[in-house]
Amino acid sequence: MTVMSAAPVACVVVLLAGCPKTQELVQPEAPVVVEIEGSAAQGSRKSEKCTECHGENGNPTDSDRAKLAGQRPAYIAKQLRDFRDGARSHEDMTEKAADLDDQTIADLAAWYSTQMRTRERGEPRLAKPGKALYLHGRPDAGLPSCTQCHGPQGQGRDGVIPGGFPVIAAQNRAYFIRQVTSFRDGERANDENGMMRAVASRLSDDDIRALAEFSAGLSPAALVEAPAPDHDEDEPPQ
């Protein structure tokens, strides 16, 4: 990830030290990663090999599997490159991504990002503490809100860093929990400047479960082409 300047390092330090406004995170001069344009039609055809694990259109019913539907294309592409190039590893995905070329990756990203993500229902008892953490973090303990990077609706955002910030709304819970736990334990370390690892290191198992529950309940509607969030005005849906 040599394309990045030092700016985001400063950002994440600021983020963890306090809980600044988004404007402090978004550096206008941050380099933009140019993504290859993908064809959703080609991606649809090429996605046949992915269906057994990621479901018909990127909505697997097994909670342990990642939903890809409605995910941001730049993020999908980055993950596939990371699996292929070894920055992220998992026995199944490392093998599946090994021979994907950049154009195939762009096509797959174009296809999955334009599929509608299915809804999940949050369990209110757990979702309530999850909501407080999601929206406010724990400023005293240096934990930023998730909103800062993933948006108030869990819609993520493009740009700022390579791959941008992923959609986490309506993600499968078991997958969500495994990812945040892997960041905490350092097993997943493909996050730019250790951003997610720094966040996850401040979360307990109970925190992670509650966050998974709250995020699951966020609406996947209008994820595609969601406008960049304005955290000062946007109200979360629940």
Q: Which of 106, 127, 170, 195 binds ligand HEC (CB under 6 A)?
A: 195
Interface with ligand HEC, residue 69, by CB under 6 A: no
Query: Cα torsion at 140, 141, 147, 148 (round to 10°)?
Result: 90
Tokens of 136: 């406010």
Interface with ligand HEC, residue 226, by CB under 6 A: no
Q: Which of 69, 168, 210, 216 binds ligand HEC (CB under 6 A)?
A: 168
Question: Shortest gap between Cβ of 91 and ligand HEC (angstroms)?
Answer: 8
- C-alpha 144/C-alpha 140 separation (Å) is 10
Among 40, 100, 33, residue whose Cα is nearest residue 70: 40
- C-alpha 140/C-alpha 204 separation (Å) is 16
Residue 157 phi, psi dihedral angles, 5° rounding: -160, 155
Q: Which of 57, 59, 79, 172 binds ligand HEC (CB under 6 A)?
A: 79
Strand, helix or coil for residue 138: strand
Q: Which of 196, 218, 223, 226 binds ligand HEC (CB under 6 A)?
A: 196
Interface with ligand HEC, residue 35, by CB under 6 A: no
The alpha carbon dihedral of 122, 128, 131, 133 has a sign of negative
Q: Which of residues 1-20 bind ligand HEC (CB under 6 A)?
A: 12, 15
Interface with ligand HEC, residue 76, by CB under 6 A: yes
37: CB partners within 8 A, 6+ apart = 106, 110
Q: Which of 21, 45, 49, 121 binds ligand HEC (CB under 6 A)?
A: 49
Interface with ligand HEC, residue 223, by CB under 6 A: no
Q: Which of 38, 55, 73, 166 binds ligand HEC (CB under 6 A)?
A: 166
- C-alpha 229/C-alpha 165 separation (Å) is 12
The residues of the shown chain that bind ligand HEC, judged by CB under 6 A, are 12, 15, 49-50, 52-54, 66, 68, 76, 78-80, 90, 92-93, 96, 108, 144, 146, 148-150, 161, 163, 165-166, 168, 176, 178-180, 190-192, 195-196, 199, 211
